[in-house]
Chains A and B, each alone.
Chain A
Amino acid sequence: MSTSSVSINDHAQQRRSFILVVCCTLIGAAAQVLIKKGAGALGPDPTMVQAALAMLLTPALFAGYSMYGVSTVLLVLALRHGQLSLLYPVFAMTYVWVTILSVLVFHESMNGFKLAGIATIVGGIAVLGRGKPA
């Protein structure tokens, strides 16, 4: 195999990993909305046991955590072939989707502090992915 075809394969692999991580952020964000919906429907002052049972028995919570599981598996698959330092900042897109969905679905308000906070955390996660192992 010539070196050029190797680099093309490499490029295709990196692209696939990128798309996989974007999918995983979308599924992960949708999962959070379902979890919030399901948790909000719990009765007043639930115990830990009631909350744990609700994760299995409340459809929104069960679906939310199932999707969370799927998104985690996708992330692991993507990280097997892609570079962590490139994919980690992409993964932080989850925060952007969750913010947009919180406003659209739950009509949460936005202000400068919140937007700055979310942007700073996304930046922090991106820097974390760049932290070389040695």
Chain B
Amino acid sequence: MNGTPFSSVAWVLGASFFGSFGALFLKIGAGKLQRSLASVVTNWRLLLGVAFYLFSSVLFVLGVRKGELSVLYPMVSLGSVWTLFWSRLVLGEPLTRAKFVALGMILCGIALLGLGTR
């Protein structure tokens, strides 16, 4: 099979966006965790994080229905770029030079994949 429709790319990039909120809420929720099952089940931040991951998985399934896995799967890495932004904005984590370099490389890689699948 050759080529990946734009709609598939859009679904997968959408999945990466919502998945990054999953990571954010898991991180916030995990910080408030205590050593009891009740504290896990009633931790709405953790549950919201899981819900975001599940929603993102549904979008990924819709995206990967058509097109090439070798193009669509690596595009999920855009999620790390979103996560870097939320980590800076919400958690106040510093954006180091290494993170900027990584961000640029991931974006370049996704653009190259897009060129390769025409």
Which residues from chain A sit less than 8 Å from chain B, CB to CB? 32-33, 35-36, 38-40, 42, 46, 48, 51-52, 54-55, 61, 65, 95, 98-99, 101-103, 106-125, 127-128, 130-134
Given the complex of chains A and B, what is the CA–CA distance between A98 and B115 in angstroms?
19
A121 nearest in chain B by CB position: B109
Is B111 engaged at the interface, CB distance under 8 Å to the other chain?
yes
Given the complex of chains A and B, what is the CA–CA distance between A101 and B68 in angstroms?
11
A95 touches B69 (CB 8 A): no
A46 touches B65 (CB 8 A): yes
A127 nearest in chain B by CB position: B102
Contacts of B102 in A (CB 8 A): 124-125, 127-128, 131
Could you say which of A61, A98, A115, A121 contacts B69, with CB atoms under 8 Å apart?
Answer: A98
A113 touches B68 (CB 8 A): no
B60 nearest in chain A by CB position: A35
Given the complex of chains A and B, what is the CA–CA distance between A112 and B113 in angstroms?
9
Given the complex of chains A and B, what is the CA–CA distance between A102 and B81 in angstroms?
24
B1 touches A51 (CB 8 A): no
B112 touches A116 (CB 8 A): yes
Is B105 engaged at the interface, CB distance under 8 Å to the other chain?
yes
B61 touches A51 (CB 8 A): yes
Contacts of B71 in A (CB 8 A): 114
B46 to chain A minimum Cβ distance, whole angstroms, is: 14
8 Å CB interface, B23-72 against A: 54, 57-62, 64-66, 68-71
